[in-house]
Chains A and B, each alone.
Chain A
């Protein structure tokens, strides 16, 4: 079953052009020009139930805007959205019982109160009977390992601990679907790791469908099977993580230090990126050629030192953002 179906979704933001100084007087009595920014420009995609899907893209690409339309926060300009069988802009309240949200930069918790008080309150917002609610809180507290600080005021907690509490708050009503907007932003590497594991755990234990946005490549590499890359309001890439790796992680970087300077023969798929004295930096396209072919170019005795590494995913995504997709074929 599909958890989300989106067809030809668009969102425009309109701003009036502002003039200053002499320009202002020239345009005072003319009709004001309106700048239209297509924040989301005709995107379509589906999400299967139980899937973890990542939305990535640079700042202002439209990922948050898309998530906000999916959760009913923003009205779409045009297009169709179906989330768990609901239309978010028309059936916002009904939908909200079924979904949970965490917006990394906007806290929903009341910082002066304890996490427990917060959870009890959110429970009452979702009309959960008291007995069921305390059981649910205890269960989640165990899974998230927040029992020791659950009664401390939220403001005294570390950012990582707060984020855990935010997640518990978003899970309190046992939603079928979770939306996380930049959940790991500002966290230290260890806290990030814990949070990622928890996201995986939520997905496994509760079977929750999860859609999240992130800047952090680590989040994507570890969590999802599928990625959607957005740039300028359009989907640049919608592919499985496996394919992404296959198509874009097909290049290896070889750094070799030789005993003497040699002239390397030209070969298809092998490119010398940099050469300084006896240091070589070489890119090898594994779809065309292989490491063996490269090795044939050197005299094995000449090799002093060699390291082989993959292009970091981050660079690949940067390439994709820039529309640099010729590596695809």
Chain B
């Protein structure tokens, strides 16, 4: 019941947001097309690299494009459904959570879903474009959907955990933005090039390993049930942690009163 209720909330926000954005049709479509082209552009980078070496740790052009599909796709899902999660720090600092706090919905979901990025649609489309380009088997088109959603949850969860720092420190969102951009940067390079400390970070605070490498390696290239459970388990862990961190910090929320008081 609660799940159904929250899903309804997520989709009614999406509907409202798209309705808002679709008022400017040309810019709406332009944003999407530009994002698809933006992602497609990087194929050229890899064409040149793969003209030098045949493969990087078993990843050829097709496998690399699959990484791009997962990375752009989960990034897209995150920014389409939960775009406001990326500005939580700002909302906390500026005291802009008030409206959400007076509404009878799960606070974190209510906040995260209340804005959406249109270009994220382009990212999701690109994921499927890649599947077409690489001639993926039909079931990948279905399997990629839950993987993108779970990947997006890991991404958003991690960002919320760091954004919640803003309850405690003024510039907390700087760190969150760093994690956010690190995730987008690491996610499009073959996993074999990372080792040691880097690898450790990629499976902890910059969870690209769980978000993208594991699904690419073990769900698409060679299915393995244990890795699927790890993928799922990590997502549950991060999301629950995000809820806990946010709820814990909320007690310190000042609703801008702190600054009004200084005037």
Contacts and interface: CB of A to CB of B under 8 A. Distances in A.
| A–B in direct contact per CB < 8 Å | yes
Interface of A: 13, 15, 37, 39, 59-60, 64-65, 68, 71-75, 92-94, 96-97, 99, 101, 103, 106, 108, 110, 112-113, 117, 121, 124-127
A113 B258 contact: no
Given A68-B98, A113-B16, A121-B16, A126 B104 contact: yes
5 contacts: A13-B258, A64-B257, A106-B98, A113-B16, A125-B104
Interface in B17-42: 19-20, 23
Contacts of A101: 102
Given A15-B258, A59-B260, A74 B253 contact: yes
B102 A99 contact: yes
B103 interface: yes
Contacts, number: 79
Interface of B: 5, 8-9, 12, 16, 19-20, 23, 96-99, 101-105, 110, 250-255, 257-258, 260-261, 263
Contact of A72 (B5, B102, B110, B254): B102
Nearest to A124: B12
Contact of B16 (A59, A73, A108, A110): A110
B168 to A, nearest CB: 11
B217 to A, nearest CB: 41
Counting chain A CB atoms within 10 Å of each CB, the highest count among B12, B98, B252 belongs to B98
Contacts of A113: 16, 19-20
Interface of A: prevailing SS: mixed
A160 B263 CA distance: 27
A17 to B, nearest CB: 13
A223 B143 CA distance: 61
Given A39-B257, A97-B104, 10 more contacts: A68-B257, A72-B102, A74-B254, A75-B252, A93-B105, A96-B104, A101-B102, A108-B99, A125-B9, A125-B104
A13 B254 contact: yes
Given A13-B257, A121-B12, A73 B263 contact: no
A125 B258 contact: no
5 nearest A-B residue pairs (beta carbon): A96-B104, A73-B101, A108-B99, A101-B102, A112-B20
A106 B254 contact: no
A114 to B, nearest CB: 10
